C-alpha cells in the first residue's frame, strides 16, 4: 500500500516506496529475514534485495556497517533506463489527479478528534486516525511488524 503522504512526496518517492516493498517481498518469498530487532532496522540482506530490484544506497552517504539500510534511492541504472522519465511523468500526472480525492473527508457539522499513532520502526511511521479506530484492534506496521500505538507528543 502506498500512503497518501508518500504520494504527496511525488512520483520518484512513490516509485521508490513500491520498489522498497518489492525488495521486502523478494526476501519474504525467499524466506530471507531482512530486518533486525523485530523489524526496527533494515539489514544488509535488505540492501542486497533492494539492489536487485533497482535501488541503491545514496551517493556520498556513509553506508551503515550492518543495519539501517532503509533510506535507499532509485539506482543510476533505473534512472538511466529510457522509459523511466516517461514513467515518472505519467505517475506524477496520475498522482496530481488522484491526490485531491484522497484528502480526508470532513462531515459537515461534526468535529472529529484525531490522534497520531506511531510504529516501532527506527524512524517511526505515523498515521492519523480516530481513537475509536485504534481501539477496535491492532494495526500492524508492515515494516517493523509491530502495532501502531498512540504517539506521545
Q: What is the pLDDT of residues 103-133, one digit of tens each?
A: 665 555 555 688 888 888 988 898 988 888 8
Count, in order, helices (H) and strands (E) of the chain: 6, 7
pLDDT band at 5 (very low <50, low <70, confident <90, very high): confident
- For the stretch 17-50, pLDDT in tens is 999 999 999 999 999 988 887 767 888 888 889 9
Q: Which residues of 54-74 are buried (b: 16+ CB within 10 A; e: fewer)?
A: bbbbeeeeeebeebbbbebbb
Q: Please give the model's pTM, rounded to 2 decimal places.
A: 0.64
In the predicted structure, residue 153 carries a pLDDT above the cut 60: no
* Residues 74, 54 contacting (CB under 8 angstroms): yes
pLDDT digits (tens, 9 = 90+) for 87-104: 999 999 999 998 888 766
Amino acid at each position: 500500500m502506498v500512503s497518501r503522504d508518500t504520494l504527496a512526496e511525488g512520483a520518484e518517492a512513490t516509485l521508490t516506496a513500491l520498489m522498497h516493498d518489492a525488495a521486502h517481498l523478494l526476501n519474504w518469498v525467499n524466506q530471507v529475514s531482512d530486518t533486525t530487532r523485530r523489524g526496527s532496522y533494515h539489514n544488509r540482506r535488505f540492501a542486497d534485495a533492494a539492489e536487485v530490484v533497482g535501488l541503491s544506497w545514496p551517493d556520498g552517504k556513509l553506508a551503515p556497517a550492518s543495519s539501517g539500510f532503509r533510506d535507499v534511492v532509485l539506482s543510476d541504472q533505473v534512472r538511466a533506463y529510457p522509459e523511466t522519465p516517461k514513467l515518472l511523468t505519467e505517475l506524477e500526472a496520475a498522482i496530481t489527479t488522484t491526490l485531491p480525492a484522497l484528502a480526508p473527508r470532513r462531515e459537515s457539522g461534526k468535529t472529529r478528534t484525531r490522534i497520531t499513532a506511531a510504529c516501532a520502526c527506527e524512524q517511526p511511521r505515523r498515521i492519523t486516525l480516530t481513537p475509536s479506530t485504534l481501539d477496535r484492534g491492532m494495526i500492524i506496521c508492515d515494516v517493523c511488524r509491530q502495532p501502531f500505538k498512540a504517539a506521545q507528543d
